[in-house]
Structure 1
Amino acid sequence: MTYKDRWLAWLFLAPTLVLLAVFLYYPMIGTFVESFYSTSFINPNPEFVGFEVYRKIIASREFSEVLWNSVLWTVGAVILQNILGFSTAMLLNQGLPGQGLLRALFLLPFILPGVVTAILWRFMYDPQLGLVNSLVVRLSDAENAVAWLASADTAMIAVIFTAVWKGFPFSMLIYLAALQSVDREQLEAATIDGAGPFRKLIDVIIPSVSSVILVNIVLTLILTFNYFDIIWIMTRGGPQDSTHIFPTIIYETGFGQFRFGEAATYGVFSILVLSVLVALYAIVQRTTSNRRATS
């Protein structure tokens, strides 16, 4: 590439870089700076306190709960979403009658906006009128309905289930595309050798799509950790902070309680976790690309 071509490339990249700097990197730097100040709605004059806000938050019970909830929410939703997505993709890869209609039906949860999904499932979890309790009562002969979103024991399970219902079609699409690229000759050879469906799944299919599975897991970890709509609309982090994760605690602390310094500090912790996940995604992508180039 000549000197002129290099400058031309930077010229075409300049608008995108300016937009990234204004709408992404400047707010991130501003959040980091804000975390060193004690700022609130009552006391709008920033007071520099250094790492005092960090020390206060790390020592609080709220931080440990938010951290645990974030891990439980992210890992639980991602594992179930990938299992359900892979299983559905396997089903749709069998050439069933009406396969096009089935794919369209399975995609409906993913097409719905997160706000609509949260409102829909909030009504379905209603103790008196909800479909979920109606089914539970009929199948288990239970006398009392379960207040799914009003109990600290069941609220996280309820929102995770909703997130899985909303997100599994994304994984299904990725796995379905990967399954269609599996070598048919290997499957036929395994069949001739007497391998059953389970052995073909373990010995042929999963190794063939393992790189796609790994990339999709890391990608869904990033998306789920940073998801906001479902939890905020369904529970607002309650009851008793049992469903508060980093995005919801940032919103409530900053825009609900006007403790901007603490909200910025939570934002820094969130950025650090997301940076690790993004770095992991980049490593997985590079490893996968190198493996394909050498194969």
Structure 2
Amino acid sequence: MTRKDRWLIWLFLAPTLLLLSVLMYYPMIGTVWESFFQTSFINPEPKFAGWAIYEKVLASRDFPEIVRNSIIWTLGVVLLQNVLGFLVALVLNQGLPAQGLLRAIVLLPWVLPGVVAAILWRFMYDPQLGLINSVLIRLGLIEDNAAWLADSSTAMAAVILAAVWKGFPFSTLIYLAALQSVDREQIEAATIDGAGPLRRLFDVTLPAVRDVIMVNVVLTMILTFNYFDMVWVLTRGGPQNATHIFPTRIFETGFGQFRFGEAATYGVFSILVLAVLVALYVIIQRASANRRRTA
């Protein structure tokens, strides 16, 4: 490659790099810088505090709760969303009647704006008029109306359920595309050899879509960890911090309490976690590409 070719490559990359710098890298650097300055509603003028804000956040009682909630939230949503998405994709891949209509219906939750979906579930969880309580009482599973979002023991599960409903069509779409690329001859050969549906699933289908599953799991972890709308609209992090995760804590601390230094500190921790997940995503993508080239 000549010097002219290298300059031409950088010339074509320049607009993208400039856009990334303005929209991503500059705000990230600004967040790290702001985390060293302390502000409040009474004293809005930034005052340099150094590492004191980090020490304050790490020593606070809320920080371990937010870490624990973020782990439960992320793993719960990712696990259920991927399992449900894969099962629905298996059903839609069977050539059912009106398959196009069924796929459109499945995609409806995903195309709904996050705030709209959260408001819908808030009405469904309403203690007096909600559909959830009505159905459970008729089935005899509960005796009285339950305040799902107001009880710290059920709030997180309720929010996870709503997020899974909102997000599983994304995984379904990814897995359906992967299932349609599975070699039909291998499935037919396994059928001829006497393999049942479960045997074909574990011996043929899952190995064929393994790379897609790994990539989608990491991708949904990135999206879920940084998801804000559903939790904030449903519970605002309550009750008693039972559903506070990093994005909701950042929003509440920064825009609700005007403690932008502490909010930026939580943002730095969030960036570190996302950086690890993004690095894992890139590693899996490269490993998958290498396997396809050597296959």
TM-score category (smaller protein):
over 0.9
1:130 corresponds in structure 2 to 130
For the residue of structure 2 that corresponds to 1:140, the secondary structure is coil
Residue equivalent to 1:160: 160
Structure 1, residues 241-268: CA drift from partner, whole Å, max 9, x if none?
Answer: 1000000000000000001110010000
- Match of residue 256 from structure 1: 256
Aligned mates of 1:13, 1:196 — CA distance in 2 = 51
Cα distance in 2 between the residues matched to 1:23 and 1:236: 27
Structure 2 Cα separation of the partners of residues 15 and 203 of structure 1: 46
The more displaced of 137-146 and 84-93 is 137-146
Residues in 1 aligned to 2:260 and 2:142: alpha-carbon distance in whole angstroms: 46
**How do 1:146-157 and structure 2 match up within 5 A?**
146-157=146-157
Deviations 1:124-171 (Å, cap 9, x if unpaired)?
A: 100111111110110016331110111101111111001100000000
Q: Are residues 141 and 261 of structure 1, via their aligned partners in 2, closer, same or farther at CA, if it must alter by over 3 Å?
A: closer
Q: Normalising to structure 1: TM-score of the pair?
A: 0.98
CA distance in structure 1 between the partners assigned to 2:62 and 2:142 by the alignment? 35
* Larger deviation, residues 233-242 vs 11-20: 11-20
Alpha-carbon RMSD: 1.0
Question: Number of matched residues?
Answer: 295
Q: Name 2:197's counterpart in structure 1.
A: 197
* Residue aligning to 1:92: 92
* C-alpha separation in 2, matches of 1:232 and 1:215: 27
Give 1:140's aligned residue. 140
Question: Aligned-pair distance for 1:194?
Answer: 1.2
Output the CA distance in 1 between the equivalents of 2:41 and 2:8: 47
Separation of aligned partners in 1, 2:239 and 2:275 = 30
Structure 2 residue aligned with 1:70: 70
- Between the aligned partners of 2:39 and 2:257, the Cα distance in structure 1 is 11
When residues 141 and 80 of structure 1 are mapped into structure 2, their CA distance, relative to the original with a 3 A threshold, is: closer
Give the Cα separation in 1 of the matches to 2:220 and 2:154: 23
Deviation at 1:4, TM superposition (A): 2.3
Structure 1 Cα separation of the partners of residues 180 and 142 of structure 2: 45
Q: Residue type of the partner of 2:100?
A: G
Query: Percent identity among equivalent residues?
Result: 71
Range 274-283 or range 32-41, more displaced: 32-41
How far the C-alpha of 1:11 sits from its partner, in A, is 2.1
Q: What residue ranges of structure 2 are gaps of 5+ in the alignment?
A: none
- Look up the match of 1:10: 10
Query: C-alpha distance in 2, partners of 1:251/1:142?
Result: 35
Shift in Å, 1:185: 1.4
1:77-115 deviation digits (Å, cap 9, x = unpaired): 000000000000000011111111100000000010001
1:190-269 equivalences in 2 (<5 Å): 190-269=190-269
Residues of 1 paired with 2:282 and 2:42: CA distance?
43
CA distance, structure 2, for counterparts of residue 118 and residue 141 of structure 1: 24
For structure 1, the residue ranges without an aligned partner over 5 or more in a row are none
Residue identity opposite 1:145 in structure 2 = N
| Alignment CA distance shift 1:141-1:176 (3 Å) | closer
Residue of structure 2 equivalent to 1:24: 24
